[in-house]
A and B are shown apart, each in its own frame.
Chain A
């Protein structure tokens, strides 16, 4: 579910004059946003590749890109606001779940639990996220500029088929690796007795998060498959008519 994919035909909804100028502004802003995000993830990708080529190992790779990753992934919260307001035509829930799970991974797992930062599973989901986000944001950018190369559309609606499950695997393995460290340190946890009369065990919380992938991941994956059929096969039919 971290491989962030939603249907995103970015359209304006308003019709009259005042709204037309407003929507031109909105479109401009959206285009700028998508270009910036594409650039950000490209930078991440290039930094990661350079690190690996220069050092020959993935150890320390996460640390080197941590700040950039946190910045661009957190900035994606903006999209939730956009879907909620209706500027971007995507289900708020789908987009919301995606962004939440990403933020959770970045801030509450890899950022806080240092010991797992050099795990291979981290590299796995980082690579997946990077490829997915670059294809997604460039798709939005080119759509807004009304100049969409077919291969970008193809990439966006086909990469996920393999990358999505790989990304989920990377995330789950990472959380699983983190469990013993969480248990030992008792981080983010609160025990009785205390004056708020509540308790929280981050260890069990993580286990519940892992279990929640079971109902949620298939739904998001099927949603993307449906979108793919609609977008790609719809296109094919039109071509045949011509």
Chain B
């Protein structure tokens, strides 16, 4: 039997003392016990570490495998109010879906009142609406049925930041695409057709990658493995890229930019690309750190370039 004391990482105050803890108890179980004595700190917002400035311990870590004596001393940091990833994703993706449709149907008070509830005379505008809506419906369904999340929660303030980003950009794009004075692409049907092919190709690609990543991980687990190409040709890009889901996502938005020939869309694509590159580089670095035999030919997001 071990004893566990939990101190505040900043003030070093004794917050909790647990007598008689099983040596094979996990950090997750210790968090639940801590939660009982401090109900305002539910387990998701607890960061437990061995060192006040060290890394957080994982929920799966077992007490007796940690470098502690008979009395284990842990440091606690409050991560702040947490919200589940699923909730955030569903909220941030439903917004653009609904908002774009509001602009598409020219709901009152957006454009001049003589245009209320009219539809655009350009068929590319209808196509764009279908593509945009398809994209976000796909994202919502993936969130519900495909993705397996490593972390359950993220800080609450993220939902405001993320929703502002997605909803704001969706409104900005939709305003111009569905505007009565919208100008269709210069090269007309050729441009739109090419754009649609790129868009659909990348949507299928992105979905294939999500499925492949899902299949790496058995349900309920948090294991990490190197992703490899499967029988699906869309996954062969794994030979050259660590995060092809981002590559395909970039491709989809490039397609959409070409289709709509709208500067705000181009801007959104650019900002998204910058953010995804940051994420891809981080993921690539952690793959390299974790796996000795990581394929050397791979780049984070763009084959051979980035």
A residues within 8 Å of B by Cβ? 192-199
Contact = CB atoms under 8 A, between A and B. Distances in A.
A197 B186 contact: no
A198 B263 contact: yes
A198 B264 contact: yes
Contacts of B183: 193-195, 197
Interface stretch (B57-65, B101-109, B173-181): B173-181
B262 A192 contact: no
Contacts of A198: 176, 262-264
A172 B261 CA distance: 37
Nearest to B262: A197
Interface in B161-213: 176-177, 179, 181-183, 186
A193 B186 contact: no
Contacts of A196: 261-263
B260 interface: yes
A219 B261 CA distance: 39
B115 to A, nearest CB: 13
Contacts of A193: 181-183
A197 B259 CA distance: 12
Which of A194, A196, A198, A199 has the most chain B CB atoms closer than 10 A to its own CB?
Answer: A198
A114 B179 CA distance: 35
Given A197-B176, A198-B176, A192 B181 contact: yes
Contacts of B260: 197
A192 to B, nearest CB: 4
A192 B176 CA distance: 9
B195 to A, nearest CB: 14
B179 to A, nearest CB: 6
Contacts of B263: 196-198
Task: Please provide the 8 A-B residue pairs with the shortest distance between their CB atoms, ordered closest to farther.
Answer: A198-B263, A193-B181, A192-B181, A197-B262, A196-B263, A197-B176, A193-B183, A195-B183
A195 B181 CA distance: 10
Contacts of B186: 195
A223 B4 CA distance: 40
A200 B226 CA distance: 46
A209 B56 CA distance: 41
Contacts of A194: 183
Given A196-B262, A197-B261, A198-B262, 20 more contacts: A192-B181, A192-B182, A193-B181, A193-B182, A193-B183, A194-B183, A195-B183, A195-B186, A195-B261, A196-B261, A196-B263, A197-B176, A197-B177, A197-B182, A197-B183, A197-B262, A197-B263, A197-B264, A198-B263, A199-B176
Contacts of B176: 192, 197-199
20 contacts: A192-B176, A192-B179, A192-B181, A192-B182, A193-B181, A193-B182, A193-B183, A195-B186, A195-B261, A196-B261, A196-B262, A196-B263, A197-B176, A197-B177, A197-B183, A197-B262, A197-B264, A198-B176, A198-B262, A198-B264
Contacts of B179: 192, 197
Nearest to B182: A197
A194 B263 CA distance: 11
A195 B185 CA distance: 8
A108 to B, nearest CB: 20
Contacts of A197: 176-177, 179, 182-183, 260-264
Nearest to A191: B181
A194 B183 CA distance: 6
Contacts of B182: 192-193, 197
B175 to A, nearest CB: 9
A57 B181 CA distance: 50
A71 B179 CA distance: 42
A23 B181 CA distance: 58
Nearest to A195: B183
A153 to B, nearest CB: 31
Contacts of B177: 197
A196 B260 CA distance: 9
Nearest to A198: B263
Interface in B240-266: 260-264
